[in-house]
Amino acid sequence: MLARLEQVIGERRLADPSTSYVAKLSARGVPKIAQKLGEEAVEAVIAAMADDREGLIGESADLIFHLLVLLAAKGVTLADVAAELARREGVSGIVEKASRKG
């Protein structure tokens, strides 16, 4: 799903801003995309604190979508992020093994 959305965002970035939200937001530049991402993060936090489960799901979808738009604008791919997460998994695996031995 995320890979599909990443692909759609990549395709829509340079589309007609009058027909595409991704194109409209991308045309406004990284500061605007980053601002939207921050707003969505705050809205997700507010929903969580209010025990609003449906709200949290919706705001989380907005948050992840806007993160993908920002990553695309900066030329960072989901594969780059996945590689970093896998590296951390490896690091914590090594620490776990060492603590089991020691």
Residue closer to ligand PRT by CB (options 52, 96) is 52
The answer to whether the beta carbons of residues 60 and 67 sit under 8 Å apart is no
CA–CA dist 64, 62 (Å, integer):
6
Residues of this chain that interact with ligand PRT (CB under 6 A) are 5, 8, 12, 20-23, 36, 62, 65
Least spacing, CB of residue 46 vs ligand PRT, in Å: 13
Burial (CB < 10 A; 0-12, 13-18, 19+), residue 66, is buried
Residue closer to ligand PRT by CB (options 50, 94) is 50
Least spacing, CB of residue 88 vs ligand PRT, in Å: 27
Least spacing, CB of residue 93 vs ligand PRT, in Å: 34
Query: Closest Cα partner for 70 from 29, 41, 33?
Result: 33
